[in-house]
Amino acid sequence: MTPRFQFNVSASDGAARTGVIRMQRGDIRTPAFMPVGTAGTVKAMQPENVRSTGADILLGNTYHLMLRPTAGRINRLGGLHKFMNWDRPILTDSGGFQVMSLTELRKMSEQGVEFRSHLDGSKIMLTPERSMEIQRLLGTDIVMAFDECTPFPATEEVAKSSMELSMRWAQRSRDGFDSGADHAGRAALFGIVQGGVHEDLRFRSIDALTEIGFDGYAVGGLAVGEGQDMMFKVLDFTMPRMPADAPRYLMGVGKPDDIVGAVERGIDMFDCVMPTRSGRTGQGFTRFGPINMKNARHKDDDRPIDAACGCPACSQYSRAYIHHLIKSSEILGAMLLTWHNLQFYQDLMAGLRGAIAEGNLSRFSEDFRANYGRGDIEIL
């Protein structure tokens, strides 16, 4: 019988590792990138096409789904997997990040966060217990603990208070998750390490979470404006203290070079809206760096976006055609470019997994950075 949750590392290279998370709805190969399906859909993509890029798991958003169409309605319609026609694992964030971003619309207390819906202004209270209930109604496979995403910049005192509140909420999330016996028997719960950019606070957070006990551990509060150098510095002192026998998830990251650097430091899971959002705004990712498909330089270019890519945008269409679609605001342009970007990200993850398994991650990373930093090749 497939286990509820099992993580096995098959190979390591330095701090980096590759392996598999086994769950009842399927295996998740790590390092893994999770396309973001905020409102029950990966924008501009059909589920089967997302799967064809190599994605093993999607991310859904508790905040948006609880407001519309509501978790109760999704539950009555058979759960999020059936609702969106995705039969593999889904991770949902707790809603905390979105609520915390509603600075003018929310009021925080020890109990939780009271906020006004951005849709109709109605008053809603989100607590650790309610977040667990909503994710249970959705039928999520990996549930995220409810936390406060510490802002940046923040004083050490603010970061300390925020982290300590998140740790109290982590215990309540654990208790709330465990109270849902049937769901808890087939799903997993991840805790979230906070503490800003402060080493001692991060260590205290890790110790508190491991004492509570979670199936996986996320690093939160990064990629919020601190810059790549600081993000890597925080990972450098955080990762060696993280449990080695559980998946490590860097939330909301990121750019391709962010991902490569984080994998080198031991991160196993990622999510980011960048490939899909960029696909809708005309940016494509290539081996030689990102390109703006709105630029006139592409209007007579019969090459694919990236000759090494096997997605439909690259195997069936030219840059000139995709440039034309985007300039004409045709929906197909956003669809093709999104498909390409998701394929690029999944190909990057597959390359990282292969390099770690073969023990040549250093060479892979050096080659990636050399190519990605050189800029898109000129038209011949």
Tally of residues, the chain: 380
Q: Reduce the DSSP state of residue 35 to 3 states and report it.
A: strand
Q: What is the largest CA-CA distance in the chain?
A: 63
- Supply the DSSP symbol for 378: P
Question: Is 93 designated active site?
Answer: yes
Domain boundaries, the chain: 5-271, 279-372
Question: Is 147 designated active site?
Answer: no
5-271 maps to which CATH number? 3.20.20.105
Amino acid at 53: T
Residue 319 token pair: 């840059």
Distance of CA 275 to the CA centre of its chain: 11
Question: Which of 305, 343, 354, 342 is CA-nearest to residue 326?
Answer: 305
End-to-end CA distance of the chain: 56
Give the H/E segment covering residue 173: helix 156-178
Give the H/E segment covering residue 190: strand 188-193
What does the alpha-carbon distance between residue 67 and residue 328 come to, in Å, rounded to a whole number? Answer: 33
Asked whether the whole model's pTM tops 0.95, one would answer yes
Cα-based distances in Å from 143 to 26, 59, 92, 117? 16, 10, 6, 22
- Catalytic, out of 268, 271, 306, 376: 271
Cβ count near 107 (within 10 Å): 11
Residuewise pLDDT in 10s, the chain (380 residues): 788 999 999 999 999 999 999 999 999 999 999 999 999 999 999 999 999 999 999 999 999 999 999 999 999 999 999 999 999 999 999 987 776 676 667 888 999 999 888 889 889 899 999 999 999 999 999 999 999 998 899 999 999 999 999 999 999 999 999 999 899 999 999 999 999 999 999 999 999 999 999 999 999 999 999 999 999 999 999 999 999 999 999 999 999 999 999 999 999 999 999 999 999 999 999 999 999 999 999 999 999 999 999 999 999 999 999 999 999 999 999 999 999 999 999 999 999 999 999 999 999 999 999 999 998 866 54
What does the alpha-carbon distance between residue 200 and residue 318 come to, in Å, rounded to a whole number? Answer: 52
Amino acid at 352: L
- Catalytic, out of 13, 93, 215, 301: 93
